[in-house]
A = this chain, B = another copy of it.
Amino acid sequence: MRKGHQTWVFANRPVIAASAAVGGPFEAQGPLAEDFDTLHGDLTLGQESWEKAEKVLLEEACDKAMEKAEVQRDHVDFYLAGDLMNQTISGSFSARTLSIPYLGLFGACSTAMEGLALASLLVDSGNAGCVLTGTCSHNAAAEKQYRYPTEYGAQKPPTAQWTVTGAGAAVVVPNGKGLHVTSATIGRVVDMGLTDPFNMGAAMAPAAFATIERHFHERELPHDYYDLVVTGDLGRVGHSILSELLPSHNINIPLDRYVDCGRLIYGENPNVWAGGSGCGCVASVTYGHLLRQMREGEWRRILVVATGALLSPLTFQQGESIPCIAHAVSIES
């Protein structure tokens, strides 16, 4: 059922039959290490390139999610994926391996929730019986493409974020045991004129705000409805900005129930500057850490607001500001 202009309310409450998270060596040292299904000690994963390693992260997360959901590849109707690489090669090449009908997505770091929203809509509307969705990022692949190769040792300001080496995937089905996807709010692009690619948290916070505001308005929910509102991945800077934006616009989400995936994944480690980022950040934290907490009864209702900075190195070079977006998905037990 449609409710409002931007929000889908899923009357049939599709079920996340299983989810999985895969991480790299740096993530293995973080506070959420135990929430990953697989952790790699080697950043290359035994592959010839960072990009091939990134693809393997996603494939492993998909395989693990299907294994836990006890579904075979040929019983999955659609695969929805995307990533940060040029031409979303991690999504496309993993779709070649999986051989499941494929819908490629791009929303930068918001892709994880774009995928879960569309997967849930396909199942809720009866247009799919089983959908796999996932996304990933790789620190070295992202540094090489977006900034400088890591070996250059370029310095960064404290507002910069650390791209997560990781992937997350989920299997969505019409019914059975598992957590329910109850609604999704699709974001508009918001661009406040910020141009600094080393301060994406500040650029993305207004997009997260806009989507959260629309979500509560269109669903007509009290602001304390969710046990947890999670953004991903604003980092410390964006989390702090959004924590001011919300109350100043009378969106009274209890701030002790508002967390950010970019802060959760590495804790207070100062070596990651303002926190984690990348498609793999919100995906691995949500599909690993948060859903484990929900399955154990710690939270009954969460709203995951995945944020994306839709710039490219070329738009930055051409003097453009950073268009940002956020998609929100509510998950309830």
A residues near B (Cβ < 8 Å) are 1-2, 5-6, 8, 48-49, 51-52, 77-78, 82, 84-89, 91-93, 95-96, 99-108, 114, 118, 121-122, 124-129, 186-189, 191, 310-315, 318, 320, 323, 325
Shortest Cβ gap from A96 to chain B (Å) = 4
Shortest Cβ gap from A215 to chain B (Å) = 12
Whether B126 lies near A89 (C-beta < 8 A) is: no
**Most chain B beta carbons < 10 A, residue from A92, A129, A314:** A92
Can you list 12 residue pairs at the A/B interface with Cβ under 8 Å?
A: A78-B186, A86-B86, A87-B311, A89-B312, A101-B187, A102-B187, A102-B188, A103-B118, A104-B310, A105-B106, A121-B121, A121-B127
Contact among B49, B96, B103, B323 for A93, CB-based, below 8 A: B323
Contact among B2, B51, B108 for A128, CB-based, below 8 A: B2
Shortest Cβ gap from A325 to chain B (Å) = 6
Whether A86 lies near B186 (C-beta < 8 A) is: no
8 pairs of A and B residues whose beta carbons are closest in the complex: A125-B125, A92-B310, A87-B312, A104-B106, A96-B189, A96-B323, A101-B186, A86-B86
Contact among B49, B77, B95, B106 for A323, CB-based, below 8 A: B95
Shortest Cβ gap from A310 to chain B (Å) = 4
CA distance A187 to B79 in the complex (A): 10
Contact among B1, B189, B313, B318 for A95, CB-based, below 8 A: B189
Residues of B within 8 A of A311 (CB): 87, 89
Shortest Cβ gap from A205 to chain B (Å) = 16
